[in-house]
């Protein structure tokens, strides 16, 4: 396993979906006050049902980009369509491939080609039934296209257990470190499915040696337009960051 | 459950991938001699590794279309990219959405829009970790776009068992009939993963009441460019069709 | 795969649990009228919660034994405790090892030793998360102890799908026939979890080539003390047997 | 969730199986030098194949008991047979119910009855396909019998992923704390299946808030009679304990 001491842990935080400038700026302010640097927010949302909220689209992307600049935060959003790749590549710092599209190889090739030119980052989430081996193979669609800043993201796999939304495969962290040179992020909100489990999963991910953490936070979770139950409030998030900082320090690492 | 007696069972057969005109015509001839009407063949192949055979693409599509016409067979191939939808919609009778793309909703919308105009059929495979509920929700991306000939296709789910490539969820047949008005096909080759299991699974699917069966057949499986082990030879296929015809007759149904 | 033509298909039917002499005799009468020969009934019931009905125990065993003799039916019940093996071995024709105890090797050894002497049959259910390989290995605890009439029983495995109680692994039938000389039964009631799915699963199992079928039937399912929703009524059972007989005949087989 | 600060973390270490007095005493010495207090060792081993090493049985139990006393360590071993309960209850401080027997309710009742009288501890491992809800229900077979020192033990669940032996369900720790008053241990060796993953999983379990950790350690893993690949060497174990102690301190907890 690669020597991880001293490697900072990147915290990627923000709401499930960008809902308004006001919503996103309150989250961005909290992130900046916590001394962190990345802001996430869904703009084009892939939803299981065609009748669910599908994201603000272009407008959401403009808000995300503007708020990122205003608060000096790097930004990340999911891309779900080859036709959006160019626009999203211009608007944010990192393009996310979601779990539903891990094996949408045409999208991966398009994102690989775009980011090979732009130098932007790519975050590749693991499919909910993908083996680690298939996930690493999918990442090669990006790297063979020339993408140079690819990060993998474990986000829970589908199992028989229903007490959580997905089963976080915490062992994916050391295994990816063993088999690949790519860094690995852990999305702790989607496997949890409920916010009170998020702190324990976030600490476990840090202790397991992750390179980044993705945490959903919303100024008013009960009124969120998507995934409300799993999002932390602003104050829960700030408190968790304090606890994670202490934990990281004990491991010779720091948050950014 | 809908009354199924007298409803014919559609057999969709052909190679995993279109490899050449010669290969495909030998399969088409066998299908026609068996009194059947549908020919399948992969042209744009989504593969786990970027280094695997990716299909013949446009050339494969031309071969499939030409052979279909020559032998009077309806044709089906998988579409993996929104940019290909129009071309494939013009070339074949049914567009297949593969299991990797079941939740690629942008592709579903594009296929839904195209087939709403063309009147072509769509076959929607179940994602390997999709619940039946999520699969039915995905089909609504097609039907709400106006697609009127959508068929669902069970093709095995991912479980812990490794003796088969996927676990065929045979109960999906009566459950879909209970919850939906859409017909349901069963792909018996992918769950089997090895050709000697195909006959038992095909018979089970017919007995369970499926509306269609998808079976991979190749004139020379050991030299197939993809998925050789699970493809039947031409003579194995002809024999299986005979057995299925007897079985179907006992259930008051016939093959087409 | 062994030649199966002409091998009869044994139907093992009866209630989830023996509840009374009256209940069991009405089922036994229906089985005899259908021309079948095996009666099942749980007497010592392993239940997930200690607060659920645990079976009638000794009294249930006496009822099962008496009703079997009165109607000329062979009997089977589950054994959950090494201390009960001798008594159950004397009372019934076949000892069932349930899915919870597939890897309770001390119980397997005890049942193996007892049936080596008595010549009684053993039915070994597959654990809900056991691979076929582990299930076959478990059967060797019986056969190496000298048991000579061991039958395996597929009863559904645990997966992420919740539309059924368990996912029936229909491919287990041809795989066991390929890897083992032991016959294979399919319990179609437990994977279904609801009675309206039972006919489709039963037909699929017959078409897949099973050697025996286990079907739960109860004179009054809504008032059953356990597993009511998945049990067929007497008339549903009789109708299903008629349909299965027609199907079996088309496959060159008969029910017994 | 219960306030966990200040609650010590119990480390339960030792070989997969007791193989000899020499083997076990070298492990016990390492545990004592590390300032820890619990020694584990399998004596009656449930093995998937009847042809694998089945443990030293009575002799192993005598060795474990003697070494525990000599080094002042509490001892734990697995019980697989109702007939052994009394003897094992007399010989060790904690009786382990293994994952294969989580739903062997007759064994649970016997262990519950014995420990209700003796006051000994019980460790109940989660079945590899048991939901957390079923696992908690199983624990009630112990507590309703009067057992007062029951600890649950997460040890990985069976999923489709094959890169690890089992998938450690790290979220089980906060969920058990939320739903139950019972403490929860994490066995990190069985899910890992290979020793180099053990440190990351052990740290994750501590960070997630576990009450105890079970770690397999052997003086010579390559020559172990069972599960060699997943056992730590003595020096790897000592180093890991040092790292865990630092981590625990950052969380306001200490090892014992």
What is the per-residue pLDDT for D47? 87
Pair D157, A168: CB distance under 8 Å: no
Name every chain D residue with its beta carbon within 8 A of the beta carbon of C127. Answer: 129
C158 with A160: Cβ contact below 8 A: yes
Residues of B with CB under 8 A from a CB of C: 1, 129, 131-133, 157, 159-164, 167-175, 178, 191-192, 196-197, 199-201, 203-209, 246-247, 249-251
Q: Which of B177, B116, B179 is nearest to B142 (CA)?
A: B116
Region A175-199: what's the mean pLDDT? Answer: 97
Q: Report the length, in residues, of chain A.
A: 256
pLDDT of residue D48: 86
Token pair of B254 as six digits: 């016939």
CA angle D80, D86, D92 (to 5 degrees): 80
* A251 chain-D contacts, CB cut-off 8 A: 203, 247
Look at residue B224 and give its three-state secondary structure.
coil
Does pLDDT of C191 surpass 70? yes
Specify the pLDDT at position D1. 36
Residue D7: predicted pLDDT: 87
Share above pLDDT 90 across residues of chain B, in percent, rounded to a whole number:
92
The reply to whether C255 falls in a domain is no
- What is the domain count for chain D? 1
Residues of chain C positioned with their CB less than 8 A from the CB of B157: 159-161, 167
- Could you tell me which residues of chain C have a Cβ less than 8 Å from any Cβ in chain B? 1, 129, 131-133, 157, 159-164, 167-175, 178, 191-192, 196-197, 199-201, 203-209, 246-247, 249-251
Contact D138 C48 (CB under 8 A): yes
Highest mean pLDDT, choosing among C47-61, D2-16, D128-142: D128-142
CA distance B99 to chain A (A): 9
Whether residue A161 has pLDDT greater than 50: yes
Note whether B197 contacts C174, CB cutoff 8 Å.
Answer: yes
What does the pLDDT average to over D4-28? 92
What is the predicted pLDDT for the residue at C2?
A: 40
Q: Can you give the residue range of the structural domain that contains D107?
A: 10-46+54-249
Average pLDDT of D97-123? 97
Residue D78 · residue D92 · CB < 8 Å: no
Chains contacting chain C through 3 or more C-beta pairs under 8 A? A, B, D
* Closest CA relative to residue A122, chosen from A130, A135, A107, A112: A112
Given a contact cutoff of 8 angstroms between Cβ atoms, the answer to whether A92 and A77 are in contact is: yes
CA distance D138 to chain B (A): 23
Give chain B's largest Cα–Cα span.
47
CA pair distance D10, C256, nearest whole angstrom: 58
D43-46 long-range contacts, CB within 8 A, separation 24+: D43/D17, D43/D18, D43/D77, D43/D78, D44/D77, D44/D78, D44/D79, D44/D80, D44/D81, D44/D84, D45/D17, D45/D78, D45/D226, D46/C103, D46/C105, D46/D78, D46/D80, D46/D98, D46/D100, D46/D101
User: In this predicted model, what pLDDT tens digit does every residue of A72-91 receive, in sequence order?
Assistant: 999 999 999 999 999 999 99
If pLDDT is split at 50, 70 and 90, which confidence band does D19 have?
A: very high
pLDDT digit string, tens, across residues D47-92:
888 888 889 999 999 999 999 999 999 999 999 999 999 999 999 9
**Angle at the Cα of D123 (from D119 to D128), degrees rounded to 5?**
155
Does residue C244 belong to any structural domain of this protein? yes
Counting one residue from A and one from C, how many pairs have CB atoms under 8 Å apart? 6
The Cα of D203 is separated from the nearest Cα of chain A by a number of Å equal to 5
Q: How confident is the model at residue A52 (pLDDT cuts 50, 70, 90)?
A: confident
The whole-number pLDDT of residue B47 equals 87
User: pLDDT for B77-94, tens place per residue?
Assistant: 999 999 999 999 999 999
B5 located within any domain: no
Run of H or E including B66? helix B58-71
How high is the pLDDT of residue A3?
A: 44
Contact: D105, C137; criterion CB under 8 Å: no
Confidence at residue C48, expressed as pLDDT on a 0 to 100 scale: 86
Are C171 and C214 within 8 A, CB to CB? no
Residues in D whose CB is inside 8 Å of some CB of B read 158-160, 162
Q: Is B198 helix (H, G, I), strand (E, B) or coil?
A: helix
Residue A98 CB coordination number (10 Å): 23
Q: What is the mean pLDDT of residues D102-124?
A: 97
For residues D186 and C213, give the distance between their C-alpha atoms in angstroms, rounded to a whole number.
Answer: 40
Residue D4 has pLDDT above 70, yes or no: no
If pLDDT is split at 50, 70 and 90, which confidence band does B1 have? very low
D117 pLDDT more than 80: yes
Distance CA B109, CA B90 (A): 17
* pLDDT (0 to 100) of residue D107: 96
The answer on pLDDT for B4 being more than 70 is: no
Q: Which of A56-65, B50-59, B133-142 has the lowest mean pLDDT?
A: B50-59
Closest chain B CA to residue D167: B160
Q: How far is CA C64 from CA A229, C22, C27, in A?
A: 51, 11, 11
Is there a contact between D124 and D153 (Cβ–Cβ < 8 Å)? yes
Task: Kindly report the nearest CA distance between residue B230 and chain D, in angstroms.
Answer: 21
Whole-number Cα distances in Å, C97 to A182, B178, C111, C231: 48, 33, 9, 20
User: Residues of chain C whose C-beta is under 8 A from some C-beta in D?
Assistant: 46-51, 80-83, 100-101, 103-107, 127-129, 134, 137-138, 140-141, 144, 158
- Residue B49 has its nearest CB partner, among A80, A101, A137, at A137
Q: How far apart are the first and last CA of chain B?
A: 22
Instruction: Indicate whether D143 pLDDT > 50.
Output: yes
- Best of C130, C156, C158, C160 to mutate (most A CBs within 10 Å, chain A): C160
* B23, part of any domain: yes
The CB-based long-range contact list for A26-30 (8 Å cut-off, 24+ gap) reads A26/A219, A26/A234, A27/A217, A27/A218, A27/A219, A27/A234, A28/A67, A28/A68, A28/A70, A28/A71, A28/A73, A29/A71, A30/A217, A30/A234, A30/A237, A30/A238
Neighbours of chain B (3+ CB pairs under 8 A): A, C, D
> ipTM score here?
0.95
C-alpha A147: how far from chain center: 18
- Mutual angle of helices C198-207 and B172-179, in 10-degree steps: 150
Q: Which chain C positions have a beta carbon within 8 Å of B171's beta carbon?
A: 163-164, 167-168, 191-192, 197, 200-201
DSSP string, A166-226: SB-BTTHHHHHHHH-SS-EEEE-HHHH-SGGGHHHHHHHHHHTT-SEEEEEB-S-GGG-SS
pLDDT at residue C4, as a whole number: 45
pLDDT of residue A153: 98
Report how far residue A213's alpha carbon sits from residue A223's, in angstroms, rounded to the nearest whole number.
Answer: 24
Nearest CA of chain B to the CA of D161: how many Å?
Answer: 8
Average pLDDT of the residues in D107-132: 98
CB contacts, 8 Å: D158 with chain B: 160
Q: What's the rounded Cα separation, in Å, for the pair C98 and A211?
A: 46
| Contact call for residues C256 and C11 (beta carbons, < 8 A) | yes
- In this predicted structure, what is the pLDDT of residue D50? 87
The encoded tokens of residue C9 equal 């298909």
pLDDT of B2 above 60: no
In a domain, D5, yes or no: no
Q: What are B227-239's pLDDT values in tens digits?
A: 889 999 999 999 9
- Using DSSP, state whether C102 is helix, strand or coil: coil
**Under 8 Å between Cβ of B127 and B135:** yes
Q: Which one of D129, D130, D160 would you mutate to disrupt binding with B, by most B Cβ within 10 Å of its Cβ?
A: D160
Residue A5 lies in a domain: no
Q: What is the mean pLDDT of chain B?
A: 95
Q: Of the candidates A46, A50, A105, which has its C-beta nearest B144's C-beta?
A: A50
Nearest by CB: A129 against B48, B82, B129: B129
The per-residue pLDDT for range D188-224, each reduced to its tens digit, is: 999 999 999 999 999 999 999 999 999 999 999 999 9
- pLDDT averaged over chain A? 95
Alpha helices in D121-188 (DSSP H): 132-143, 172-179
- CB contact under 8 Å between A174 and D159, yes or no, is no
Q: Which among C211, C207, C205, C236 has a CA at the least distance from the CA of C221? A: C236
- HSE-up of residue D191 (Cα within 13 Å, Cβ side): 35
Residues of A in contact with D208 (CB under 8 A): 200-201, 203-204, 207
Q: Which residues of D fall below an 8 Å CB-CB distance to C? A: 46-51, 80-83, 100-101, 103-107, 127-129, 134, 137-138, 140-141, 144, 158
Instruction: Count chain A–chain D contacts defined by CB atoms under 8 A.
Output: 128
Chain D contact set for B162 (CB, 8 A): 162
Given a cut of 60, is residue B241 above it in pLDDT? yes
On chain A, the residues whose CB falls within 8 A of the CB of C159 are 160
Burial tier of B49 (Cβ tally within 10 Å: 0-12, 13-18, 19+): middle
Statement: residue A252 has pLDDT above 70: yes
Residue C189 near residue C217, CB atoms below 8 Å: no
Rounded CA separation D152/D132 (Å): 10
Chain A residues near residue C158 by CB distance under 8 angstroms: 160
Residue A65 lies in a domain: yes
Pairwise CA distance, residues B246 & A80, whole Å: 47
CATH number for position A178: 3.20.20.70
Mean pLDDT of chain D: 95
CB contact under 8 A, C48 and D137: yes
> Of A35-44, A127-136, C3-12, C168-177, which gets the smallest average pLDDT?
C3-12
Tokens representing D2 are 């219960």
Q: How far is the C-alpha of D131 from the C-alpha of D133, rounded, in Å?
A: 5
D132 to chain A: which residues are within 8 Å by CB?
161, 163
**Is A230 a domain residue?**
yes
Confidence of residue C172 (pLDDT cuts 50, 70, 90): very high
> What 3-state DSSP class applies to C63?
helix
């Amino acid at each position: 396993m690669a020597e991880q001491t001293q490697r900072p842990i990147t915290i990627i935080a923000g709401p499930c979906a960008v809902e308004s400038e006001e919503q996103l700026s309150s989250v961005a302010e909290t992130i900046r006050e916590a001394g962190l640097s990345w802001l996430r927010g869904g703009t084009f949302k892939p939803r299981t049902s065609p009748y669910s909220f599908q994201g603000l689209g272009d407008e959401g992307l403009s808000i995300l980009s503007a708020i990122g600049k205003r608060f000096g935060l790097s930004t990340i959003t999911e891309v779900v369509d080859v036709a959006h790749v160019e626009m999203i590549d211009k608007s944010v710092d990192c393009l996310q491939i979601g779990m539903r599209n891990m094996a949408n190889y045409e999208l991966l090739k398009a994102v690989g080609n775009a980011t090979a030119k732009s130098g932007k980052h790519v975050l590749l989430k693991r499919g909910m039934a993908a083996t680690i081996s298939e996930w690493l193979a999918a990442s090669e669609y990006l790297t063979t296209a020339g993408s140079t800043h690819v990060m993998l993201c474990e986000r829970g796999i589908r199992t028989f257990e229903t007490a959580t939304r997905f089963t976080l495969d915490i062992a994916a962290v050391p295994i990816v470190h063993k088999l690949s040179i790519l860094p690995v992020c852990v999305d702790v909100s989607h496997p949890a499915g409920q916010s009170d489990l998020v702190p324990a999963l976030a600490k476990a991910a840090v202790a397991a040696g992750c390179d980044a953490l993705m945490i959903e936070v919303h100024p008013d979770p009960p009124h969120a337009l998507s995934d409300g139950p799993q999002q932390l409030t602003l104050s829960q998030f700030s408190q968790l960051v304090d606890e994670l900082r202490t934990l990281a320090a004990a491991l010779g690492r720091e948050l950014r």
